[in-house]
Amino acid sequence: MVQLSTLSTMRTLKALSTGLASIALLMSVGLSEQAHAAGTIEVRSDPTNVAFEMKSLIDGSVYSGVTPMVFTNMPPVTYTVRYDIQPSCEVQKDIHRELISGSRLIFWKNFTCGDQRIPLAGRTAKRIGTDTPVKPYVKPNAHVDMPAKRIVQTSSQSEVVAGGSIRYTVSISNMTRGTLHNIDVVDRYNPEMIDIIQPLLDGGVIKENEIIWSIPELFAGQSWSTTFTARTKPHLVAGDRIVLMAHAYSDEADFDLYPEAWSSVAGVGIAYMPQTGGKYDLLFVLAALVGAAFITNLTISRKQ
């Protein structure tokens, strides 16, 4: 009886050992497949030490850090990276890329920073070649990869003095055959260069360095437009450039396919000389008349 009990116990232990080994093997294979399916993401920039935020467009997971940074074992989905605004640098567009299973994805952005000279009206920094032959006009193909602009942002002027005001207009158009729902219009700006005059029209709100409008729906062929005013900072100097970048998102929009069509950039330069105005012009004329009268009287007195 004791021998039978011992034999049964040994068989049970052997079965348990075999089951545990099978489970361990399955777990090892699953982990190996998962590691093979995952990929690596690098976020870089020039210059370095730029803060960024990376978001998964599938589950909404958010990752943040400072360039350069490497993320390993990332799921093979589509990601979008938004770089932080740098002082004296142009605002950068968001980047959308898809991570292929088992591959390495690199996000890279080269910032344009520093003073950028703006040529005066009627002049150009490039030399004009009068003997350059005129190229014949070539009609483009009827089919192009880039569709018409869905969003357009314009400014009331191309140059402004430090401390002056600029009026911006943002317009979007629904060029599809259906209604667009839950449209978000986002306009990014540099708070170190301009102040947004409030209150904003059409329900606009300011969140950090963005102006956001929410539009419940926009019917096919319909357009939406709004305006706002910005005042430039008094510390800006001639040659500085103010750049605003507007984006539009919606549930049905083809933003992932044509991101350039759903974004628009408006740039305004700081003028080299302020406008004198009518009062200063009148003062100049009066001073010239007084000077001319004084010289005339002095000449007559010498002749007498």
End-to-end CA distance of the chain: 155
How many Cα atoms sit within 13 Å of 170 on the Cβ side?
26
How many Cα atoms sit within 13 Å of 86 on the Cβ side?
23
Q: Are 244 and 187 in contact (CB under 8 A)?
A: yes
Name the pTM for this structure: 0.44
Per-residue pLDDT, 57? 86
How many Cα atoms sit within 13 Å of 143 on the Cβ side?
0
Per-residue pLDDT, 2? 42
DSSP 54-94: EEETTT--EEEEESSEEEEEE-SSEEEEEEPP-TTBPPPPP
Per-residue pLDDT, 54? 93
- φ and ψ at 224, to 5 degrees? -135, 140
Instruction: Please count the residues of the chain.
Output: 304
Distance CA 94, CA 244 (A): 13
Per-residue pLDDT, 224? 92
Amino acid letter, residue 114: G
Distance CA 106, CA 289 (A): 69
Amino acid letter, residue 77: V
Q: Is 303 helix (H, G, I), strand (E, B) or coil?
A: helix
Per-residue pLDDT, 31? 44
Q: Are 183 and 223 in contact (CB under 8 A)?
A: no
Place of tokens 């545990």: 20
Q: Can you say whether residue 163 is alpha, beta or left, with left for phi > 0 and alpha for psi between -120 and 50 degrees?
A: left
pLDDT in tens, 168-203: 999 988 877 888 888 889 999 999 999 999 889 888
Contacts of 274 (CB under 8 A, 6+ apart): 161
Q: What is the DSSP letter of 238?
A: T
Amino acid letter, residue 11: R
Ranges under pLDDT 50 in the chain: 1-4, 26, 29-36, 119, 141-145, 276-277
Alpha helical stretches, state H, the chain: 2-37, 278-303
Q: What is the dihedral of CA 289, 292, 293, 295, to 10 degrees?
A: 160
Per-residue pLDDT, 175? 79
For 25, 94, 167, the CA distances from 243, given in Å and listed in that order, are 57, 15, 13
